[in-house]
């Protein structure tokens, strides 16, 4: 699992790469592309940070009510999604792996990641 240091390191790498590339790019179209690329990278980093924060703060009594509330909301949403996925799998006659791969109902292993299916 990633640590805070990993996330901070990755963020620094992204910032350095962004700084270097902006200097070579004069064309507006290329800058717009780079902007979109950076926005994607920021979203990815934010998501990773969120996952890390969620994993580290879950069940910690020192965290504020808001964090606990968010953790509860995420857990509720995950549970609701598991039920929804099961309903969808049932309706389409397929099995969805935790990796997101969709498999035939009689599959024993995921055709995307190779994990054993329930
Ligand atoms: Zn899978």
Identify which of 99, 2, 14, 101 has the alpha carbon closest to the alpha carbon of residue 54: 2
Is residue 116 one of the residues assigned to a domain?
no
- Tell me the residue length of the chain: 118
Residue tagged 């179209």 (tokens): 29
Is residue 112 one of the residues assigned to a domain?
no
> What pLDDT was estimated at residue 111?
93
Report how many domains make up the chain.
1
> What pLDDT was estimated at residue 48?
77
Ligand 1 centroid to residue 98 C-alpha, Å: 6
Q: 58 and 20 in contact (C-beta within 8 Å)?
A: no
Could you tell me which residues come within 8 angstroms of residue 16 by beta carbon, excluding any fewer than 6 positions away?
Answer: none
Is residue 105 one of the residues assigned to a domain?
no
Q: 48 and 2 in contact (C-beta within 8 Å)?
A: yes
Enter the pTM of the model.
Answer: 0.40
> What pLDDT was estimated at residue 32?
75
Consecutive 10-residue runs of the chain (118 residues): their mean pLDDT?
Answer: 64 64 60 79 80 74 66 81 79 83 90 91
> What pLDDT was estimated at residue 109?
95
Ligand 1 centroid to residue 46 C-alpha, Å: 24
Ligand 1 centroid to residue 37 C-alpha, Å: 27
> What pLDDT was estimated at residue 25?
47
Is residue 11 one of the residues assigned to a domain?
yes
> What pLDDT was estimated at residue 62?
63
Is residue 36 one of the residues assigned to a domain?
yes
Ligand 1 centroid to residue 28 C-alpha, Å: 41
For 57, the domain range is: 4-93
Is residue 99 one of the residues assigned to a domain?
no
Is residue 110 one of the residues assigned to a domain?
no
Is residue 56 one of the residues assigned to a domain?
yes
The token duo for 38 is 């950076």
């Amino acid at each position: 699992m990633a640590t805070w240091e990993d996330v901070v390191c990755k963020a620094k790498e992204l910032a350095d790469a962004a700084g270097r590339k902006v200097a070579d790019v004069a064309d507006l179209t290329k800058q717009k592309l780079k902007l979109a690329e950076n926005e994607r990278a920021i979203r990815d980093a934010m998501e990773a940070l969120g996952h890390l924060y969620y994993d580290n703060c879950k069940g910690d009594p020192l965290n504020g009510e808001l964090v606990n509330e968010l953790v509860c909301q995420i857990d509720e949403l995950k549970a609701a999604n598991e039920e929804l996925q099961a309903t969808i799998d049932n309706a389409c006659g397929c099995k969805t792996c935790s990796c997101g791969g969709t498999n035939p109902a009689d599959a024993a292993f995921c055709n995307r990641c190779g994990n054993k299916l329930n």
